[in-house]
Structure 1
Amino acid sequence: MAVAEMKWNTTALLVIDMQKDFISKTSPVRVDGGVAIVPNVIKAVDVARSRGIPIIWVVCEHDHLGRDVALFRRHNYLSAGKPKPAIKGKPGTELVDGLEIKDSDYKVVKTRFSAFFNTNLHSYLQAIGVNNLVITGVQTPNCIRQTVFDAVSLDYQSVSVVVDATGAATPDIHQANINDMRNIGVFTPTLEEWCKSI
């Protein structure tokens, strides 16, 4: 087996928070940079599927009363008239059009920024022999960044953030966080560069 082929047998693609509440143009809590990356996230998923790379869908879902929401924003769920995103079972938790969880994929539900915090993501990845992560989704300073920093702390061999398949509220915020992640050894390819590497 070729070295490159062995690498992709130990790689997983994480797709983080590509849900209607965070991406749809009409959502009051949308990430402004999220809409633009949808085509690239779709392509990254398609490429991963074609190579047999496991796809992990990381989604945010909260209790309808916000009892599992992080303390710093729990007041939003207790106040009338405030947006209450990612309520389990509501349409806003669904993936945006063009993205679909298949039977061979895996879904992780989180209630905090990091996909690793209080989830079984790490144990699942260990069980399937994954030690390289490729990350897409929103948003760069929160869920992307925290997941990446935790992955680095957990000693994943290689962590990549696809720069044009991740997004934030503004390009400047996105770029500043990409720079921070580069400084801790994270790879930051474009989608085209990533596709060529596999």
Structure 2
Amino acid sequence: MADKWKHTALLVIDMQKDFIHDDGQMRVNGGRAIVPNVIKAVQVARQRDILVVWVVREHDPLGRDVEVFRQHLFAAGKEGPTVKGSMGAELVDGLVIKEGDYKLVKTRFSAFFATHLHSFLQGAGITNLVITGVQTPNCIRQTVFDAVALDYQPVTVIVDATAAATPDIHTGTYFLLLGRNAGL
């Protein structure tokens, strides 16, 4: 059975306290609801010997590596979101990086942008991706677009293990990703 999945990786994107907790600086309203489904996806991946890649945001305490539109969150001595080593940068309860998993740090929406993810996946023989996490119209969408452009096939997004600020934004993004024949 393991051979069937040896070319597949599960990407778990931004399931960090600052995105999921009610008091998180970058809270995604639908994030808390998907935590059990993300946990289940990780469990199934491990049962099938699928590589689990934890894609997380971690920023410099001074915000020198954040997007221009987020620099105000680090102004005047404020601790911005997902600062490396902060409570907000930690994975939510129930999600744990284990031996054999891989952690990738990003500073932009796409897990591929300005990271070594593509070369890492190629080196591991990965051609198929399964994606979970937040936020559907930003990090999920950008990662899917880049994965498709890099010829990963198939790229599967688990609808009930991804979330956006509202159900309408979440569903609308899926129609954008899949086209009008999405079957939603």
Question: TM-score, normalised on structure 1?
Answer: 0.87
- Which residue matches 1:63? 60
2:118 paired residue among 117, 122, 139: 122
CA distance in 1, matches of 2:24, 2:70: 17
Cα distance, 1:184 vs. partner? Answer: 9.9
Cα distance, 1:27 vs. partner? Answer: 1.9
CA distance in 1, matches of 2:175, 2:76: 36
- Which residue matches 2:107? 111
- Which residue matches 1:34? 31
SS at match of 1:172: helix
Cα distance, 1:29 vs. partner? Answer: 2.3
1:179 paired residue among 165, 175, 181: 175
SS at match of 1:109: strand
Alpha-carbon distance change, 38 to 124 in structure 1, aligned in 2, over 3 angstroms? same
CA distance in 2, matches of 1:10, 1:188: 26
- Asked if 2 retains the 8 angstrom alpha-carbon contact of 1:132 and 1:156, the reply is yes
- Which residue matches 1:13? 10
- Asked if 1 retains the 8 angstrom alpha-carbon contact of 2:133 and 2:162, the reply is yes
- Asked if 2 retains the 8 angstrom alpha-carbon contact of 1:162 and 1:188, the reply is no
2:69 paired residue among 36, 52, 72: 72
Q: Give structure 1 stretches of 5+ with no counterpart.
A: 190-198
SS at match of 1:156: coil
Alpha-carbon distance change, 172 to 184 in structure 1, aligned in 2, over 3 angstroms? closer
Residues 1:157 and 2:156 are matched in the alignment = no
Over the aligned positions, Cα root-mean-square deviation in angstroms equals 2.0
Count matched residues: 184
- Asked if 1 retains the 8 angstrom alpha-carbon contact of 2:58 and 2:84, the reply is yes
- Which residue matches 2:139? 143
CA distance in 1, matches of 2:39, 2:180: 27
Residues 1:102 and 2:90 are matched in the alignment = no
Alpha-carbon deviations, 1:69-109, whole Å to 9, x = none? Answer: 0112212212466x711111101100000000001100000
CA distance in 1, matches of 2:138, 2:11: 15
Alpha-carbon distance change, 188 to 87 in structure 1, aligned in 2, over 3 angstroms? farther
CA distance in 1, matches of 2:63, 2:168: 31
Alpha-carbon distance change, 184 to 59 in structure 1, aligned in 2, over 3 angstroms? farther
Percent identical among aligned pairs is 64
Alpha-carbon distance change, 161 to 137 in structure 1, aligned in 2, over 3 angstroms? same
Q: Give structure 2 stretches of 5+ with no counterpart.
A: none
SS at match of 1:162: strand
CA distance in 2, matches of 1:141, 1:80: 30
